[in-house]
Each structure stands twice: as C-alpha cells, then as structure tokens.
Structure 1
C-alpha cells in the first residue's frame, strides 16, 4: 500500500463521528458480555438453591436453624458474647451466660459455626510523627482509633495486656496504634499528654466526615479498657425515650413527623434507621461500632422495653412481626424488616456491616462493585479472542482490559462531574430506592448470601468463572465463525483491537494492493484506517454480506487453449470491439453462458489433478488473462482460479483475501462482485 496523504482538517472532522461509533460498538459489546455474566450468576443461584434443598430434604430442617444456648459450652457462650461486644464480667454460672446471650440476640447455627473460624488480629500501627498521626487518626472520619501513648519510652499496658485489648476490639473494626512522644514532643505537649495513657479517637457528631474528638484513659487493666471503649461508643446509639418517639421519629408513623421529637439535627424521612428493642440497658458493642462506620448514612437507636410489656409495645408500634425481644428492626422509606431471620444475618459486626452496605451503599462501595463487574466483563471478552500468534493474542487481551477500564473511569468522572445536577440527583435517588427494595426482599437476601459465599471461597469462584467463560466463548465462536479465504478461522463473536475497528466500522476504499503477510497485517490496517479518515462518504457506504462469495465460479487453470491473451484471433476480436470470450469458448464447444450460469463450481470445491477435465473448463464470460492482477504473478497450470461477474479472473486465494476484507469491487474494473452484470452494460 502506498503512502496516503490526508489533510489534517478532514482527519479532525471525522474524530467526533469515530468516537460516537466507537461508543456504540463498545456498548454493544458491553451488553453481550453483561448477558453472559447474568447467565453465570443465574447458574450459581440455581446451584446454590439445589445445594440448600439437599439438607432440607434429608433432615427437614429450615435454612436458618435456631440453636438453644443451653446446648453450647461455656467457651462457646463466651465467644458469642465477645463477638457481639457484650460484657460477661460478673457472670460465672452457665445459666447466667445463657440468659445474657438470649438478651443480646437469638443464636443461629451459622453464627455458632462461624466461631470456629480463626480470626486474625490486624497489625498495630506505629506512628512516626505528628504528621503521620494527623493523617491516619484525625483525618479518618468514619473509623475508631485506640492509640497507646508512650511517655519516656514506657507504655501504660504491658505486651500481654495490649495484645488482649487488641484482640477484643479488632472484631469491631477498631484500629490500634502506638505513638512514642520521643518522636515528636510538640504533639504530646499540645495535646496535654504528660503521662503514658490511651487515646480513643472517633467522630464527634452524627454527620458524615464530622470532626474527630480525642478522649483519654489511664487504667492498666485490659477489662477496664474494653469496658471504657464500650461505654464511649454506646453514646452514639440514641436512647429512644418512649414508644411515641419510636413511632414518629424512627418508624415514620406520625402525620406531623416534622414536629416529632426525633433526635439529632438534619433528620430526614428518607434515612435508613436501625432500631433495637431490648431488655438490656446498653447496646452491644457491635451495634455501637456500626454507628461509627455508617455515620451520616444510617441512624441507630435503642428502645429499652421492660419485661412483660413487649406485647403492648408491639401493638402500639403496629409491628406484630417483631416476635420476642431483642429485635433489630431495619426501617427504610420503602420497607421495614426484622434483621436476623434470613441466611447469613448474624448478630456481629461483619454480618450486619455487609447487610447495611447492601441496603445503604456508599459511593465508594458502588465504585468498587462496578469496577469488579467491569473487569469480569472484560475477562469474558478476552476469553473470546483467539490469535495464532501469541503476541497478537496478548496485545488484544491487554487492549480489551484497557478499553473497558478506560471507559469505566471516563463514565465515573462524568457521573461525579454532573452529580449535583437535579436530573442526576433524582436518578440517584430512584436508584437508591430500587436498591432498598431489592436488598430487603427475599430474592435480594438469597443473592447476597450467594455473593458472600463466593467471596469466602475465592478459588471456587475463579475456577467456575474461568470454566464458564471458556465454555461461553466456545459456544459463541461455534455459532458465529468468521470466514477467511477458503477456510474458517475461529476468532470470536466480538472483535477486539485496532484491526477490528477498521473492519467493522469502516468500508474499504477502492484500489489495488497485494495481500500482506501476517506480520505486516497490523501496520496495513493502521494505514487503511488513516486512509479512510479522509474519505467524505465514509459513513454512507452500505454493509455488504459475505454470502455471495460462495456462488462465485472457480476452476483449475489448464490454459486458454489456442486463444491465449496474445492470440491473433483474440486481438482481432478486440479490435472489432467484440467480446473475446466467443473465441475462447469456440475451441471447447462451450456455448456462451449468462451470469446466472457461471456459478456451477463452488469456491470451496476441491477437484484433484487426476479428475480429467472436471472443473478445468473456464466458465463462459471469463476474459482471458495470463496473470493475477492482485499478486501480479503468472497463472500456473493446475492453479485454482476464481472469476467475478464482470469477467475478470484471479487466483482464488488472492481474490478471497481481497473480498473478505470488505473490498467488494473488482480490483480492475471496480464492478461490484456481488452484482450480476447486465448485457447492456457489457
């Protein structure tokens, strides 16, 4: 292909159209891969339901099996209380521990089985100075820090006590650190830390990204430290004064809700609320820690109910489904449910944290979830790419991953830039309402449990997803093969890479060019793409189906008999402006055939050299030529030729390579190869 000179103006003029068509193609690819991902999730959902039916059929047990605390050991009871953040100090007898467990929350079989899993304690942070302390502690607005301050190199708690405190606060996402005042004395003097002590850092108010406050404690007993942390965090759970406040401020049942005595500034009826009805005086630590994690997104309250009055409170609240106390009621503007009655809804920090994230996701949660989905879609498409050369295969896979993530980040930047617009905000509110309904439904609960199961077993997830991706690629490739010359090469239902852009988005420009080798294919396609950018009628060219190539005549070359291209009879006919095909066919006694009779031999037929004259007679109407105008090589005896409706013939491999690259015109006369030539045109 020669050097193509195009104007910079025409190139720039076509860039918006190219981007628009590229976006359309990307969306088409996105929806197909999204369909495959939904099929995979449906298969996982069905398999999970089948596995759940097996124990139900054998034992007749429900999906959520309640456990009697009396059947548990003392160690298991203490572990349950520790995971829920309920202090068991002063309770020695097993009966007292059982009563305390019952007052904190019901017990399920899944929660007991979760106690057997090891719980690693996160590493403690060692601050290098004031700047590091401010960056990690005071700039983090949605977490709790417990920092041990060392004065003169001495710690308040010894190593064993500090390890015990860390192990007890780690299940509630309380981060720990150590700051030595010798590294930065100015920070300790400005804070008034004259002796070794403990510092608890947490948000001050109930608004998102609120100011961080620091509180100190100087006891050397680990039990006292944990109790102090529990008491400080429990303040964040609002103590509901009575049933009327619960009805108006938390359940939204009052007509004049704006004048109710609901707590806190910025109260909104669209907020998600968690209300605990219990006989205890203080909430569990896991609920108090969640109030810090979901500051500004979820409000937490506790209504203390006296024993024997739960039935009356239940009637006044209009909630007969509450059952016995304690009960954790999750209230949204669309629906209200009782937490703990479905699979994987356990009464600990991790389980309720996942549940509330699904009900009221943060922007960062939506971003991470969409990022995972985008890369799963990209992996599905990379499995559908197949190239003989390994470097081309790797290049196309990298291009797919790059393009998916590129458009993903562009979409998010556009969303964040327009988020404050009223239309986008209304759409976000509608989407959040749909998330509330889906997360609180039975189907949403099952999907959430399946996703958690896949997250807990990543090897099973990656293995099953890889198998599904390759099977889906095999099925799609079998369904939509791409023809190449005389054979078929499986390249996938969806194109990828720069060469696919030129093939699917641009129509070829007329011209004669020799076929290139596989090593020069990418370079030629790039030159082809640049050439097409300068063509004004680039987008008006019709898309021609490739099915017509099967009807083109093909035969083995045995020469043109006595009527070669340099024959005097042929030259005489040419000088008389008559068709030389009459002379060519006269020697064989073959009558002149029309265009419809020329397709007797399919392009893919294979006639052996020993088959006599079968397939060796040139169809009527073919013009005598001694060489192929595509590769510029002389015809060898026995070579397969292919003719076009205009009468010109070429090597079969050459013309097939030409036509399947969307060059649907004759290389010589430019007559369409898919259109029969009328006699008047001849």
Structure 2
C-alpha cells in the first residue's frame, strides 16, 4: 500500500479562511527532502520583496493590516520558523521577507533603520520595533511566538492566560490550607471548581461585549495600549521568564512547589495556636461528619 503525505496550509490571509491541500510527489522520502518541500510551500505564502523600490512602496503604504513583521536577510527564502509563524498568525500579522542579496543601493535600508543582517522589524501604527535587542528575544520559534502573541493577542490567548493564572492561584490553596491531607484536597477541589466557574462566568459577558459591531474602535485602542506596554523593557523581562520556564517545565514545577512549601511553612507558624491543624485524616473526617449531621 502506497503512503501519501498531504500538508494543509491556509489559502487566504483571513484569520479563519479556507485551507488548501498539498500532496508530496517527490520520489525521495528522506526527512531532509520532505522538510525542504514543506518549507518551500509554506514560504511561498509570505510576501517576498527583492527590489528597493518595491520595499519603499510597501513600507509607506497604508493597508488594512496595520501590523507587519519584516525580515531583512541575504537568503533565497525565509527560514522555516518564520514561515511557520506566518501561518500561526494568519489574519493578525502580515509577514514580509526582503531579500537584499543583490542590492547595491542601501539608502532605503538606512532610512528604515536596518543596521545588520538578518534584521527583524515589527511595524505597527505606533512605530517600529527592532526584535532581538531586548532580554529574551531569541531568534527562535518559541521566543518570537511569545513576543508576537503579546503584541497582537487573540481573545483565545487572553482566555488561556487567565485560565493558567487562575488555576495556579487555586492550587496554592493546597499549601495555604492547614490540617489533614484529605482536608487539603477537599478544599483544593472546592477552590478549583469555584475559581474556574467564576472565570467562565466572567468571560461570557466579555465575549458578548466584544461581538458588538460599534466597539471596533474600543478594541483597536485596547490593542494600541497593549502594544505600548508590551514593547517596554519590563515586558521583555516577563516574556524572557515565560519563555524560559515554559521551555523547562520541570524547573517551573520545582519553583512552584518551593513557593508552595514556603507558604505552607509560614502558614503553620502563623496558625500554630490552631488545634485543627494537628488533626489526622480520620479525626477531620469525623468532625466533618459531625458537622454534616
């Protein structure tokens, strides 16, 4: 039976547009050849500029897509991670690749502010931001994905972030609660259910609020303020920590556990006069049954 390799890529630049299927027709099935085929097809979606006149026309052109990510490099095609990001941010950010291998006139590059190769520049209505000059801004898929999600997030990104933060706070109740082990987990389950229910209930009116057609200006101003905040030095520190800990989950869990144990220690010191904290599981269940009956 013959195997078939099919790749789906977005057909348009819309956020939730149609996709097209590409079938691999190469004779070689080595990983290197398949990777080159995938990279070439994905890179073909990115707008490529090879002449300085075309760059200046595009740079000062006002289009519907206000946020653009430019890559200036002496390459035949953009790297694979840059092409992959263009698919992840379809409809949010326009990715443009500028091939400067055969450029003799670099006046336009100096006018834009390109001083080195390769150079990644994010162009927004508020100005330009040179990616790679701040803490944690590595030339990698994970780091640039975190950066672009922070400057041009979707509602889904904000919901996932709030979900993670709420559950991290809820799990701290396991260490704050003193007493029997069963008591800790009962309180934890109750806290998780309460926090997540309140989070979902809070998001429902927000989603309905954002669907109103006359709030487009409010949404644009919110993104503008967010871009101002996320291009600061403090924001780069936060992204660097996020990128580091998300790349090392074991270290993140160890740090979180250490914070929890530290909180547990101080809570025991603070509640040393409380007799309930010394009760074992059976005693606590017995007291819970007495309270229920």
Cα deviation for residue 375 of structure 1 reads 0.8
Specify whether residues 334 and 328 from structure 1 end up closer, same or farther in structure 2 by C-alpha distance, changes over 3 A only: same
Is 1:436 the counterpart of 2:227? The answer is yes
Cα deviation for residue 337 of structure 1 reads 1.9
Please report the TM-score for the alignment, with normalisation by the length of structure 2: 0.80
In structure 1, the residue matched to 2:292 is 523
- SS of aligned partner of 1:405: helix
Aligned residues: 283
Specify whether residues 291 and 430 from structure 1 end up closer, same or farther in structure 2 by C-alpha distance, changes over 3 A only: same
In structure 2, the residue matched to 1:421 is 212
In structure 1, the residue matched to 2:12 is 205
Matches within 5 A, 1:43-58: none
Specify whether residues 326 and 392 from structure 1 end up closer, same or farther in structure 2 by C-alpha distance, changes over 3 A only: closer
Residues 596-652 of structure 1: CA deviation (Å, up to 9, x unaligned): xxxxxxxxxxxxxxxxxxxxxxxxxxxxxxxxxxxxxxxxxxxxxxxxxxxxxxxxx
In structure 1, the residue matched to 2:151 is 359
- 1:475, 1:220 → 2: CA distance? 66
My pick for the range that moved more, 287-296 or 354-363, is: 354-363
Is 1:268 the counterpart of 2:59? The answer is no
Matches within 5 A, 1:628-667: none
In structure 1, the residue matched to 2:123 is 331
Give ranges in structure 1 of 5+ residues lacking alignment.
Answer: 1-152, 156-196, 482-486, 493-516, 525-682
Is 1:395 the counterpart of 2:204? The answer is no
Matches within 5 A, 1:110-149: none
Specify whether residues 296 and 490 from structure 1 end up closer, same or farther in structure 2 by C-alpha distance, changes over 3 A only: farther
Specify whether residues 246 and 522 from structure 1 end up closer, same or farther in structure 2 by C-alpha distance, changes over 3 A only: farther
Residues 582-601 of structure 1: CA deviation (Å, up to 9, x unaligned): xxxxxxxxxxxxxxxxxxxx
1:385 touches 1:491 (CA, 8 Å); kept in 2?
Answer: no
Is 1:230 the counterpart of 2:78? The answer is no
1:384 touches 1:470 (CA, 8 Å); kept in 2?
Answer: no
The two structures, once aligned, show a CA RMSD in angstroms of 3.2
Specify whether residues 475 and 312 from structure 1 end up closer, same or farther in structure 2 by C-alpha distance, changes over 3 A only: same
**Between structures 1 and 2, the one with greater helix share:** 2
- 1:224, 1:393 → 2: CA distance? 55
Identify the match of residue 410 of structure 1 among 194, 198, 201. 201
In structure 2, the residue matched to 1:446 is 237
2:72 touches 2:97 (CA, 8 Å); kept in 1?
Answer: yes
Cα deviation for residue 386 of structure 1 reads 1.9
- SS of aligned partner of 2:16: coil
Please report the TM-score for the alignment, with normalisation by the length of structure 1: 0.37
2:136 touches 2:237 (CA, 8 Å); kept in 1?
Answer: no
- 1:402, 1:474 → 2: CA distance? 25
Cα deviation for residue 421 of structure 1 reads 2.8
Is 1:218 the counterpart of 2:25? The answer is yes
Q: Which has the higher contact order (CA 8 A, sep 6+)?
A: 2
- 2:73, 2:166 → 1: CA distance? 43
2:10 touches 2:87 (CA, 8 Å); kept in 1?
Answer: yes
Cα deviation for residue 304 of structure 1 reads 2.8
In structure 1, the residue matched to 2:96 is 301
Specify whether residues 249 and 490 from structure 1 end up closer, same or farther in structure 2 by C-alpha distance, changes over 3 A only: farther
Cα deviation for residue 423 of structure 1 reads 7.8
1:383 touches 1:470 (CA, 8 Å); kept in 2?
Answer: yes
Specify whether residues 287 and 521 from structure 1 end up closer, same or farther in structure 2 by C-alpha distance, changes over 3 A only: same
Specify whether residues 399 and 224 from structure 1 end up closer, same or farther in structure 2 by C-alpha distance, changes over 3 A only: closer
1:310 touches 1:325 (CA, 8 Å); kept in 2?
Answer: no
- 2:218, 2:244 → 1: CA distance? 31
Specify whether residues 477 and 490 from structure 1 end up closer, same or farther in structure 2 by C-alpha distance, changes over 3 A only: farther
In structure 2, the residue matched to 1:185 is none
Residues 381-437 of structure 1: CA deviation (Å, up to 9, x unaligned): 3322223x5544432222111111111121122322322136865554444333322
- SS of aligned partner of 1:337: strand
In structure 1, the residue matched to 2:139 is 347
Is 1:372 the counterpart of 2:168? The answer is no
In structure 2, the residue matched to 1:601 is none
Give ranges in structure 2 of 5+ residues lacking alignment.
Answer: 278-285
Matches within 5 A, 1:541-620: none
- 2:185, 2:40 → 1: CA distance? 57
- 1:362, 1:384 → 2: CA distance? 34
In structure 2, the residue matched to 1:489 is 274
